Amino acid sequence: MRILHPTDFSSTAEIARTLALDLSKRLSAPLRVVHVQRKFSEGDGRNYLGTQLYAISADLQRRLEEERQLETKVLRERLLHLAEGNAVGELVWGEPLPELLRLSREHDLVVMGAHGANPFDAVFLGGTAGRLVRRTSTPVVTVRASTTTTSIRRIVVATDFGEASLHAWGVTKGFAEAGTVKLVLAHVVEGRGSDDTTAVNESLHAMSAGVAERLVVRRGNAVEVLPQIAEDVGADAIAVGLRRHGSVAGLVLGSRADALLRSSAVPILSVPMA
């Protein structure tokens, strides 16, 4: 198990780092704390100005280079401070999303803060985290600013008995088998259906095969019900399976997936199918 924690040094990222460190210790997994910094010459008005004035003042260019070196030193020192225990800090140069996609392929789990600042945040999980979740093939734990969780010891695994949720169950079972995480297997019945949940419970028992410590069947809107289940059973995260629709990754919860990722104060473990 190899864990990646991308950070932008925000308060939300710090919450995610706490979870990443905890998982790293309990899973005996190496942790890589990474900050992706755009190259100074890209998209920076100050540096663009410095480049234009280079022909006029070599001294100005020298001072600009010194400023860049100082900023690089500060970033590396911050990363060194954030890397505790068996964690390592690394400064990576480039565009955040492509670099994180590349790095995620070298790891088994990504733990990161989720926040964004664009108009689509009201509809989709925004920011780099949202785009990474949709494109990576590596499981990602997304943490919101409202999260108070400091350790993931119990996970609610959502299932509709489809291929994606079965895959998510297989991945989370690995945590349970390591003896560090307990699992609750949950199914939410939406819409009007029979009051007889016998068949659902039988399917949950078969899927669990004795691994889950508890099986839960509830009715209602999954976006609202799953966080409530997590609260009721004392779970620290909710795991959902991802399946791809063309170039877009959709969760097992269909059109409600982004709403769950955006609204849940409980961290979400998104498990994409390869």
What angle do helix axes 58-82 and 45-52 make, rounded to 10 degrees? 150
What's the first-to-final CA gap in the chain, in angstroms?
17
Taking all residues of the chain, what is their mean pLDDT, rounded to a whole number? 83
pLDDT digits (tens, 9 = 90+) for 190-239: 876 556 678 899 999 999 999 999 999 999 988 899 999 999 999 999 99
Rounded to whole angstroms, how far apart are CA atoms 212 and 260? 23
pLDDT at 72: 86
Q: Which two tokens stand for residue 98?
A: 């492509």
**Torsion angle defined by CA atoms of residues 135, 250, 272 and 263, in that order, rounded to the nearest 10 degrees:** 90
- Identify which has the larger pLDDT, 255 or 88: 88
Q: Which two tokens stand for residue 272?
A: 């994409």
Domains of the chain, CATH where assigned:
1-116 (3.40.50.12370), 152-274 (3.40.50.620)
pLDDT digits (tens, 9 = 90+) for 106-144: 999 999 998 744 433 333 344 788 888 888 999 999 998
- Identify which has the larger pLDDT, 60 or 99: 99
Distances (CA, A) of 67 to 48, 106, 153: 14, 32, 44
Residue 62 CB neighbours (<10 A) = 11
